[in-house]
Structure formats: structure tokens, C-alpha cells
Amino acid sequence: MDLTGNGALVTGGASGIGAAAVRRRAAAGARVAVADRDESAATALADEVGGIALTGDVADPERMPAHVAAAEEAFGRLDVVLLNAGVTAGQSGVVDLDLAGYRRIVGVNVDHVVFGLAAAVPALRRAGGGRVVATASLAGIVPMPGDALYTMTKHAVVGYVRAAAPVLAPDGIRVNAVCPGFADTPLIARAKPQFGDFPLLSAEDVVDAIEGVLERGEPGECWFVQPGREPGPYGFRGAPGPAGGAAPPKVSWSDH
């Protein structure tokens, strides 16, 4: 791909999947904003790829609008937003519940995706359309009993993406999610010894899937990513409707 002239924003962009995505976009000619809480790592990577570094807490309601504005101002346009930042809970959320930790995982994993998409839409419209990809998880389509809170947040991301995509598709804005299984990134560093010989994805494997989604994904698709398998859209099973086959009404709560 030749992405010369394109602008991209990647959250959680200084390490792991985010850093691999930054390098891939930049290698194709895009200018990339590296958003991360780690200022030194974000600056180093931005310098490496000729992009810009953005710091701050993405769970802060004011941070994502500021990031989007900075990226659009620096590049003249914004074409791709990768909402990749994420954290784990560090608690079960079932037999124990640390309120601060709970608020933290919801803020980063859910709020930042909502804030990020809402902030990106005006900029993407000004560019004539664009792409938004949220990094969810396989825990967004199947339960992960070891981390109920993480599962909850990633299910929320998947549901949000699927519902938001049809709303924005007419504007030429395509919204998707990737749902990788366990990947060898800093997110699982502490638990990595527990995996033994279990096959792990690399950050590059996940970025391959992200690039596939960006190139040919349909609005609202959530692509699974598993070692040794070709990434692709997860086939969600339709929920049963009312008896008699009545179609559901198209309700817009903003009209009420």
C-alpha cells in the first residue's frame, strides 16, 4: 500500500501491537501520531517513524478530542484511527472487587473507545471518510473466566462497534474491531510463564489482521485472530426474534 499523505492515530502506540501498527503504517508512507502514557517511549517511536508523540490518559474525556485535534493539525487530515490502548483488571471482579481498578479498566478499555470514536468522526468526515479499528479481544466474543472484568469490557467494545458501524457507514466511515487471542505483548508479561507451550500470537500477527480489516473489512465486522489461522470476520449467530417473524423496529432514542 502507498499511504503517502495519509494521517493516522494509534492509541497505546508505544509498545506491543500499537508499536507494530505504527511502524507498519509509517513504512507505507502514512504520518502517524503515537499516543501513549509512556512519554519517553512515545517520543522515541515518533522520532523513529517521523511522526508525532501524544501523551496523557485516554480514559480522560478531554484526552481523545485533544489527540484527534493534534493529529489532524499536524498532518492536515486524519484517515485512520486505531483505538488500541487497553489494560487488564488484575482482579477477578467476581469474588473480589477493587473499585479503583474496576473504574480503571472500564475507563481505558471502554470509555476510551467511545471517546475516541466520537472525537474522530468529525475529522474523518472532513477527510471524506476513513477507518476506525478498535482492538478488542477474543474475550470480546467468548468468556474468559479468569478475568470477568476484562471479558465484560471487550464484549462492550464488540457490541459498540457492531452498533456504531451502520450509523457511520453512509458517511464513508468504516468501523471495525479485531479480536485477537493471547498475544506475546507487555499486556501478558506477568502471566506469560503460565502459558507454557501454548501458542501465542505475535504483535505482527495482529497487525496483519488489522491491515486486512482496513483493506477489505465490511462495516461492523469483528475479526478473530488466532495462531495458525487466517484472520477473518467472526460469524455472530442471530438472536431469535418474536414469534411470527415480525421485523424489529428501527428505533432512534435521540428522537425521544
- Which whole number is the average pLDDT over 15-43? 97
Mean pLDDT (the chain, rounded): 92
pLDDT at 191: 67
**Quick check: 132 and 81 in contact, CB under 8 A?**
yes
Task: Give the CATH number of domain 7-255.
Answer: 3.40.50.720
Whether pLDDT at 189 is above 70:
no
Structural domain boundaries of the chain? 7-255
pLDDT digits (tens, 9 = 90+) for 108-121: 999 999 999 999 99
Residues 203-235: pLDDT tens digits? 999 999 999 999 999 999 999 999 999 999 999
The pLDDT of residue 255 is above 60? no
Residue 10 pLDDT grade (very low, low, confident, very high; cuts 50, 70, 90): very high
| Sequence-distant (≥ 6) Cβ neighbours of residue 55 within 8 angstroms | 35, 36, 37, 38, 39, 42
Residues with catalytic function: 150
Q: How confident is the model at residue 188 (pLDDT cuts 50, 70, 90)?
A: low
Q: How far apart are CA 71 and CA 51, in angstroms?
A: 9
What does the pLDDT look like over 151-186, one tens digit per residue? 999 999 999 999 999 999 999 999 999 999 877 776
Quote the cell numbers at residue 99.
Answer: 473499585
pLDDT in tens, 39-57: 999 999 999 999 999 999 9
Helix axes 16-27, 203-216, angle to 10 degrees: 50
Q: Is the pLDDT of residue 253 over 80?
A: no
Quote the radius of gyration of the chain (alpha carbons, Å): 18
